[in-house]
Amino acid sequence: MCGIVAYLGPKQAYPILINGLRRLEYRGYDSAGVALLNSKLNVYKTKGKVADLEEFVRDVDISGTIGIAHTRWATHGEPNYANAHPHFSQSKNIALIHNGIIENYAPLRKELETRGYKFESNTDTEVLTNLIEDIKINENVSLFEAVRIALNQVIGAYAIVVIDANDPNSLIAARKGSPLVIGIGKDDYFVASDATPIIEHTKNVVYLDEEEIALIKRDSDLKIKTIRNKEKTPYIQALEMNLSALEKGGFEHFMLKEIYEQPSSIRDSMRGRLHAEAGSVSLGGIIDYEQKMVNASRIIIVACGTSWHAGLVGEYLFEDIARIPVEVEYASEFRYRNPVIYESDVVIAISQSGETADTLAAIELAKSKGATILGICNVVGSSIARATHAGSYTHAGPEIGVASTKAFTAQVTLLTLMALRMAQLKGTLTKSRFIQLLHEMERIPEKVQKTLEVSKKVIEIAEQFKDVRNFLYLGRGYNFPVALEGALKLKEISYIHAEGYPAAEMKHGPIALIDEEMPVVFIATNKGTYDKVVSNIQEVKARKGKVIAIVTEGDVTVRGMADYVIEIPETEEMFVPLLATIPLQKLSYHIAVMRGCNVDQPRNLAKSVTVE
């Protein structure tokens, strides 16, 4: 959603803040702003990206050793100057940045209006800023206390940082539902939505917990209370992230870099967990819950978007090799459907960011019914990682491109390991078959590497189809979720309409779309329902559709029918999604680049969706 960064210390704040905003821009990019305090509290903000803000402040006073900054993804009010953050209070004594949504902002605004407050924007954030000011004046309390009291009146989600024109030595930060990290330097403090703006300054961080509020004071220790006024001891952790993981490393876009990182990110997801020689799988994070999984009446997977597609692959895996029934749910539907949840259920929540509001709410609901909740997250210390009973991190490294690539394959890798572990414990595979699968899984990173080498063919196909208006993606079995993910990737970064379908469903409707203009991507690898998919390809060819097929190396049948083929290495059926996804990511990437789209920051999207 939005990105927050703040600084307090001996250095000039602006360069640190602007650099931090650049790192956070993947979270939202429709307006940006900064508040800097020297003798005066100055707020500069503009519609557009961080680069527009830099242009905007070219000729103004940007001095100050304390400041707050924000990059926005609009929720309340269109992206324009008035709605951009930071927001001033009416007196201009307080400025505030906010990520999240204040759900009861309308009655609060009405109440403040009756007390004489005038609003310059349509945002919920300006309401919160004036609420804090109103409490500070009328209750005659410190700013910290006013923020605390105000947050008790607020319904919704927030990560906020507040700055006071009359206090150049303090910042106040608080969170509920949206993430906030405080970096502790030698003699300075950093605050941010995630650790990426902090890592180059310090590795010591404190993750604020739900409903915690921090007083960050120059030359003083960090103080934390809950909004119910309970003192907390800050828990300082060391970041494990490297700065190089946040740079493009010679690639034109983060997305391309992240696509090419997959051999190593998949290897990192397996490291220390897959022991082919010893014939075992170990997942330390969920070890205490393995028996619960073995005895579970069913597994419910909750997730959104690409993570939901990974969950669908998980369904095939758990049912196929571990014989555990699985339901895969869109978190947003699950949470409002009054679902039947038993204490014997194990819920697996999958989320790259670990901050997705719907997934978080689905977890809370399942938890309240007594289910066991396991997490699969990429961002260490994220809200979902902490809300679950236990879990395993994907270890894919920071994913900056808004369209998920390496996080998806890392999620699938982890689900595969979990399913294999369950198969091992339940004895649903013979020992020799189990060991054969482990050895093959070990070879997946090198097969992904090989799959990445198909660039020329993919570029040729992209060139051919970059101007079409529609695409269809079809697959069956393990390749059905791959088709969905391929279609999602294309539409989100190239803005071409694309649909993913189970190949056999085509004849129940989508076949009407097929004409000589329509490219149809088939994932037609040589296992499972291969013969059936071959028939589906024939049905498309009979209607003059253009067939692009992902096939297994050496395939001749589909090669004889398709207009274009992309080969991937031979592997076991259950590992095919890890390979077949790669050319589809690359196809979307090249089409989007050829169409002049901003692949790393597609329009209207944001990396972490912390609102409903």
Three state DSSP letters for 268-327:
HHHCCCEECCCCEECCHHHHHHHHHHHHCCCEEEEECHHHHHHHHHHHHHHHHHHCCCEE
Q: Does 351 bind ligand F6R (CB under 6 A)?
A: yes
- Choosing from 101, 609, 610, 611, the residue that interacts with ligand F6R (CB under 6 A) is 609
Q: Does 403 bind ligand F6R (CB under 6 A)?
A: yes
Q: Does 454 bind ligand F6R (CB under 6 A)?
A: no
Strand partners, 225: 213, 231
Q: Which is nearer to ligand F6R, 42 or 332 (CB)?
A: 332
Q: Which is nearer to ligand F6R, 3 or 33 (CB)?
A: 3
Q: Which is nearer to ligand F6R, 316 or 589 (CB)?
A: 589
Strands 372-377 and 390-393: parallel
Q: How far apart are CA 355 and CA 59, in angstroms?
A: 37
Residues between 484 and 543 that touch ligand F6R (CB under 6 A): 488, 492
Q: Does 305 bind ligand F6R (CB under 6 A)?
A: yes
Q: Does 177 bind ligand F6R (CB under 6 A)?
A: no
- Choosing from 71, 83, 356, 494, the residue that interacts with ligand F6R (CB under 6 A) is 356
Q: Which of 144-152, 239-247, 352-360, 414-422 is the region at the interface with ligand F6R (rule: CB under 6 A)?
A: 352-360
Shortest gap between Cβ of 340 and ligand F6R (angstroms)? 24
Q: How far apart are CA 140 and CA 340, in angstroms?
A: 49
For residues 179, 303, 376, 502, the Cα torsion angle rounded to the nearest 10 degrees is -150
Neighbours of 606 (CB within 10 A): 23
Short-list 583, 582, 581, CA closest to 460: 583
Q: How far apart are the first and last CA of the chain?
A: 11
Which residue is at the shortest CB distance from ligand F6R? 305
Q: Which of 188-196, 299-307, 476-484, 513-521 is the region at the interface with ligand F6R (rule: CB under 6 A)?
A: 299-307
Shortest gap between Cβ of 349 and ligand F6R (angstroms)? 9
**Count of residues interacting with ligand F6R (CB under 6 A):** 15
Shortest gap between Cβ of 296 and ligand F6R (angstroms)? 23
Q: What is the DSSP string of 76-88?
A: SS-SSTTTSSSEE
CB contact set of 210 (below 8 Å; sequence gap of 6+): 175, 176, 177, 383
Shortest gap between Cβ of 268 and ligand F6R (angstroms)? 18
Neighbours of 140 (CB within 10 A): 9
Q: Does 359 bind ligand F6R (CB under 6 A)?
A: yes
In Å, how far are 472, 512, 558 from 532, measured between CA atoms? Answer: 17, 19, 12
Q: Which of 226-234, 351-359, 453-461, 464-472 is the region at the interface with ligand F6R (rule: CB under 6 A)?
A: 351-359
Q: Does 413 bind ligand F6R (CB under 6 A)?
A: no
Q: How far apart are CA 386 and CA 353, in angstroms?
A: 12
Q: Does 608 bind ligand F6R (CB under 6 A)?
A: yes
Q: Which of 13-21, 168-176, 198-206, 350-358 is the region at the interface with ligand F6R (rule: CB under 6 A)?
A: 350-358
Shortest gap between Cβ of 399 and ligand F6R (angstroms)? 8
Q: Which is nearer to ligand F6R, 265 or 352 (CB)?
A: 352
Residues between 140 and 169 that touch ligand F6R (CB under 6 A): none
Shortest gap between Cβ of 464 and ligand F6R (angstroms)? 24
Give the sheet arrangement for strand 372-377, strand by strand.
326-330, 299-303, 346-351, 372-377, 390-393
Quick check: 27 and 76 in contact, CB under 8 A? Answer: no
Q: Does 307 bind ligand F6R (CB under 6 A)?
A: yes
Q: How far apart are CA 291 and CA 571, in angstroms?
A: 30
Shortest gap between Cβ of 368 and ligand F6R (angstroms)? 20
Q: Which is nearer to ligand F6R, 83 or 356 (CB)?
A: 356
Q: Does 388 bind ligand F6R (CB under 6 A)?
A: no
Q: Which is nearer to ligand F6R, 148 or 491 (CB)?
A: 491
Q: Does 588 bind ligand F6R (CB under 6 A)?
A: no
Q: Does 306 bind ligand F6R (CB under 6 A)?
A: yes
Q: Which is nearer to ligand F6R, 181 or 438 (CB)?
A: 181
Q: Which of 30-38, 181-189, 300-308, 504-512 is the region at the interface with ligand F6R (rule: CB under 6 A)?
A: 300-308
**Token pair belonging to 53:** 């803000």
Q: Does 121 bind ligand F6R (CB under 6 A)?
A: no
3-class secondary-structure state, position 508: helix
Q: Does 124 bind ligand F6R (CB under 6 A)?
A: no
Shortest gap between Cβ of 338 and ligand F6R (angstroms)? 23
Quick check: 185 and 201 in contact, CB under 8 A? Answer: yes
Q: Which of 231-239, 349-357, 541-549, 569-577 is the region at the interface with ligand F6R (rule: CB under 6 A)?
A: 349-357
Q: Which of 186-194, 227-235, 304-312, 442-450 is the region at the interface with ligand F6R (rule: CB under 6 A)?
A: 304-312
Q: Does 304 bind ligand F6R (CB under 6 A)?
A: yes
| Per-residue binder mask for ligand F6R (CB under 6 A), 218-237, x = binder | --------------------
Q: Does 600 bind ligand F6R (CB under 6 A)?
A: no
Residue at token pair 């253009």: 546
Shortest gap between Cβ of 405 and ligand F6R (angstroms)? 8
Three state DSSP letters for 211-271:
CEEEEEECCCCCEEEECCCCEECCCCEECCCCHHHHCCCCCCCHHHHHHHCHHHHHHHHHC
Q: How far apart are CA 529 and CA 527, in angstroms?
A: 6
Element holding 37 (H helix, E strand): strand 31-37
Residue type, 402: V
Q: Would you tell me the crossing angle of helices 262-270 and 406-426 to the nearest 10 degrees?
A: 30
Sign of the four-CA dihedral 258, 260, 261, 263: positive
Q: How far apart are CA 420 and CA 429, in angstroms?
A: 9
Annotated catalytic residues are 2, 607
Strands 346-351 and 299-303: parallel
Shortest gap between Cβ of 377 and ligand F6R (angstroms)? 8
Shortest gap between Cβ of 308 and ligand F6R (angstroms)? 7
Biggest alpha carbon–alpha carbon distance for the chain: 81
- Choosing from 121, 352, 394, 424, the residue that interacts with ligand F6R (CB under 6 A) is 352
Q: Does 472 bind ligand F6R (CB under 6 A)?
A: no
Applying CB under 6 A, the residues found at the interface with ligand F6R are 304-307, 351-353, 356, 359, 403-404, 488, 492, 608-609
